[in-house]
Amino acid sequence: MRKLLSILVLISIAGGAAQEIDRKMYTARFCDSTAPVLDGRGDDAIWQQAELGQGFTQNEPDNGAPASEISFFKIVYDADNLYVLIRNQDRQPDRISARLTRRDGDAEVDEAGIVLDSYFDRRTAFAFGVTAAGVRKDLVFSNDGENEDESWDPVWFAATAIDDSGWTAELRIPFNQLRYPDLPEQIWGLEIYRDLARRDETALWQHIPKDASGIVHFFGDLHGLKNLAQPKRVELLPYTVSDLSTGRPEPDNPFAPGRTGHFKGGLDGKAGVTSDLTMDFTINPDFGQVEADPSEVNLTAFETFYEEKRPFFIEGKNIFDYRLVMGDGDLSMDQLFYSRRIGRAPQREIETEDDEYLRSPANTSILGAFKLSGKTRSGLSVGVLDAITQKEEAEIRRGEASQREAVEPLSNYFVSRLQKDYSAGATSVGLMMTGTHRRISIDQLNFLNRAAYTGGIDLRHAWNKQNWLVDFRSAFSHIRGHKEALLEAQTSSARYFQRPDADHVQVDSSRTTLSGTGGSLSFGKVGGGHWRFLVMGIWRTPGLELNDLGYMRQADQLIQVFWAQYRTLKPYGKLRELYTNVNQWQFWNFDGEFIGRGANCNVNLTFTNSWHAGGGISHETRWLGLSALRGGPAIYYPASTNIWYNLSSDDRKAVSFFGRGQNYHNEDGITRSNYYSIGLEARPSAAFSLSLSPSFSYGTEDLQYVDTIETGRGPRYIMGRIDQKNLAMVVRFDYCLTPNLSVQYYGQPFIAAGNYTHFKSVTRPRASVHTDQFKTFSAEEIEYDGENDQYAIDEDSDGQEDFRFDKPDFNFRQFRSNLVLRWEYRAGSTLFLVWSQGRSNSIEEGRFSYRHDMRELFNVYPDNVFLVKCNYWFSL
């Protein structure tokens, strides 16, 4: 499935084919006798009566050539299920790759499956695949294959068997797991695929050209489905969770007894509202089995973006994906809906005295949530999500006295999305709306917006076999709240209205509302041959604010982007595929002030032996950093150059590796950084894999922000030269005893150190010469106060201290791990046994020593969570 997904995504991006579709047709047979028994043998009588589907062609590596091995399939159905038989002949059966992974595992193995466009909208498809080892894989394609959702886990069944002439797959797909119109006779889109791992080959029943425009509209047709019942499609998944947490006991701390336990339950469910629309809901959800976020040290002014990993929010997420810019990369990170906002850590932090103890929740509890999603036969996609999070309180103890204070209000989050397809998907028009409401009852929470609304309209039109397109996306925002909340919004890192050199914006401390707009317009050729290009214009007004329920780093921007790509369509010699990209960009703010420009070029190669290599170089001119001084004046950074490169071996082998690197420097002669990472994966058996991925980065930044100090002679913007080193190691292993029983481990030790020297006060931030931008404190002007870990500054050398700031040096050490046993003990029902461990500490030292830091990290008393979670699926 992973290989099919990669190929189909590349096809969907590549653009339109110039020929008419020679569409195949298959007629399914109604099973009026005994239904097939799933055993992978394919010898049931009904299979002898079914139509034979055959004639597979390669999609990769040699698009359009006959498949290397013969495959055929048959399809029958009864009142409740669709049955599929796929026979995969193989002249070298001893070389069939049948490794075990967990469901939807990422592995290059022999695989076969069916993809169904049951809406018959030529835009949406449901894929069901199974490996030769019997591991199921499933996903949903939308927007003609442009988007995919691998988190979709329907309840269906498969069996496989390997023999001396190949292998056979039998699938049973309940109709209540599919969505289709209420018609007396159905016509569905149909594709059958086969992956032959040893040749890195994917063969398709319905041929799809490599430069095809999308994928789903190329599918063949499945006929013969008559009088299908409309199942109730009501599924319930109640669960119970019991956990035990252990940590270092603190005798005087009532909140740190060393051991605590909890027991709770909840309910997940799914119900078919109509034949096209499904409602998913969750009550008191638990995500204890979810892998922890990676460790990092963030020294920027902006919030880190973390991927969503919670099942309720990742399943069906594509319908709610509204990015302000098409494509991938940093420019397309801004979005109206960022699901990590729901259930986030409480936003109020409470400071305590030395004799006080605090217990504050790590996350906001989700009381309940529901999603309504689907697509009508007329091409209207619908998505509605609503979630309620409870009011969270922290408890403060001083002796026998105890008090509780709110740290997060009762909140409601609402998201709606509509998108209508026209002209077989060549044109689409969409609408997105979000709303956040908080019930704020105490003054200490007035820094949060009481209400926040965002919305947008998007339009996409493609023509000339969808080789050419224009894409328009717009957004608006409106927030309301107490004056304190609006002051927080105006002075946040997304805006910094308080910048003294920003004439077009200003802070209004009496504000109670703020509004803004943003969006993009893109035009280009995205298919039909070797060349593609896009031209983009992007805007975000100063008042745009998406961060209550979306994600946005910076407003007040006008951006122009150009992208061009050349790609090969056929293998040539030892080269299977080549992509070469050129990018160019430039920025302004809404005052018309030029910020900077840059360009890069890169190349990516795939060889016939399935090795991959790539690299690139980028250059940016002198750049105006609007956020560098955290609300102070903008400061120029010198021009910079960055190069990167990577190499990876054939991951079908028992041992594979990758390596990547990056080297950056700017023209001040001081600032530079280097990053190196390698990875090794070993698969000593069909059931076990182990991977190690160490990474190391080090560098020097001459203009790293430290602090802003208010003095009688005006603010002092303090910066320093930081020498920073980061070391991380990601360890994973997977052991699959059966396709339904697996053990997975994830662990990451992470250590970082930052040592600051050459402290300076910014004096002329826009000076053309780098060293004229600041005054570096001399030994006579700066003195370290070791007792208080502070630096005292005498900037006029009169013997009197003028101001001081805290020592910014740091050592940060963290270890996070998850060990998860997952057993799908019956269809749709799962038992999880989880052990999570965390260790963390930080000190103001700044000296990097691998041995010392690792020893100190594992000397930290661990926080452990042992969890048992069991759910039970049943359908009504």
80-99 pLDDT tens trace: 999 999 999 999 999 999 99
Q: How confident is the model at residue 571 (pLDDT cuts 50, 70, 90)?
A: confident
| Count of beta carbons in the 10 Å neighbourhood of residue 349 | 10
- Report the chain's mean pLDDT, rounded to a whole number: 92
Q: Report the pLDDT value the prediction gives residue 10, as an integer from 0 to 100.
A: 43
Q: What local confidence, expressed as pLDDT, does residue 19 receive?
A: 41
pLDDT tens per residue across span 701-710 = 999 999 999 9
Task: Indicate whether 16 pLDDT > 50.
Answer: no
HSE-up of residue 18 (Cα within 13 Å, Cβ side): 3
Q: What is the mean pLDDT of residues 349-377?
A: 91
Mean pLDDT of 449-476: 94
* The two structure tokens encoding residue 109: 């193995």
Confidence bin at 396 (pLDDT 50/70/90):
very high
Q: What is the pLDDT of residue 152?
A: 84
Give the model's confidence band at 6: pLDDT under 50 very low, under 70 low, under 90 confident, else very high.
very low
Q: Identify the pLDDT of residue 699.
A: 97
Query: What percentage of the chain carries pLDDT values higher than 70?
Result: 97
Residue 443 is predicted with a pLDDT of 95
How do residues 654-705 score in pLDDT, each as one tens digit?
999 999 999 999 999 999 999 999 999 999 988 999 999 999 999 999 999 9
**What's the token pair of residue 39?**
């055993």
User: Distance of CA 414 to CAs 323, 391, 411, 481, 790, Å?
Assistant: 17, 17, 10, 18, 46
pLDDT (tens digit, 9 = 90+) per residue, 839-868?
999 999 999 999 999 999 999 999 999 999
Confidence at residue 1, expressed as pLDDT on a 0 to 100 scale: 54
If you average pLDDT over residues 43-51, what whole number do you get? Answer: 94
Checking if the pLDDT of 460 tops 60, the result is yes
| Beta-sheet strand order (sheet of 166-174) | 29-30, 71-77, 81-89, 166-174, 157-163
pLDDT at 138 over 80: yes
Q: Tell whether the model's pLDDT for residue 302 goes beyond 90.
A: no
Tokens 């998907």 correspond to what residue? 425
Q: Residue 719: pLDDT above 60? A: yes
Sign of CA dihedral 422, 428, 429, 432: positive
**C-alpha dihedral sign at 783, 788, 789, 790:** negative
Q: What DSSP designation does 94 have?
A: G
Residues 693, 656 contacting (CB under 8 angstroms): no
pLDDT band for position 20 (50/70/90)?
Answer: low
What is the pLDDT averaged over residues 391-400? 92
Distance CA 783, CA 780 (A): 8
Statement: residue 13 has pLDDT above 50 = no
The winner for highest mean pLDDT among 9-23, 266-280, 358-372 is 358-372
**Contact, 167 vs 90, CB < 8 A?**
yes
Residues 432, 324: Cα–Cα separation, whole Å: 11
For residue 833, is pLDDT > 90? yes
**pLDDT for 14 beyond 60:** no
Mean pLDDT of 19-32: 87
Sequence-ordered list of residues with C-beta below 8 angstroms from that of 346, at least 6 positions apart, any chain: 360, 361, 363, 364, 392, 394, 407, 408
Q: How far apart are CA 311 and CA 368, in angstroms?
A: 14
In whole angstroms, what is the distance from residue 74 CA to residue 54 CA? Answer: 9
Q: How far apart are CA 247 and CA 260, in angstroms?
A: 9
| Averaged pLDDT, 482-511 | 96
Asked if pLDDT for residue 212 goes beyond 80, the answer is: no
CB neighbours of 25 closer than 8 A, spacing ≥ 6? 220, 221, 222, 223
**What is the pLDDT, as a whole number, of residue 278?**
87
- As given in the structure block, the two tokens for residue 774 are 């600041």
Dihedral sign computed on CA atoms, order 681, 685, 687, 688 = negative
CB 546 within 8 A of CB 529: no
Query: CB neighbours (10 Å) of residue 295?
Result: 18
DSSP 664-683: EEETTSS-EEEEEEEEEEE-
Q: How do residues 225-238 score in pLDDT, each as one tens digit? A: 999 988 778 999 99
Is 70 exceeded by the pLDDT of residue 30?
yes
pLDDT of residue 125: 93
Residue 727: the pLDDT is: 97
Note the pTM of the prediction, 2 decimals: 0.89
Answer for the pair 866, 835: CB distance below 8 angstroms, yes or no: yes
Interval 235-292: pLDDT, tens? 999 999 999 999 999 988 999 999 999 999 999 999 988 877 889 999 998 876 677 7
Three-state SS for 187?
A: strand
Q: Please, which pLDDT band fits residue 306 given cuts at 50, 70 and 90?
A: confident
In angstroms and rounded to an integer, the radius of gyration of the C-alpha atoms of the chain is 29
Answer for the pair 817, 747: CB distance below 8 angstroms, yes or no.
yes
Say how far apart CA 389 and CA 369 lie, in whole Å. 9
Q: Is 22 exposed, middle or buried, given 0-12, 13-18 or 19+ CB atoms closer than 10 A?
A: exposed
Confidence check: pLDDT of 317 > 50? yes
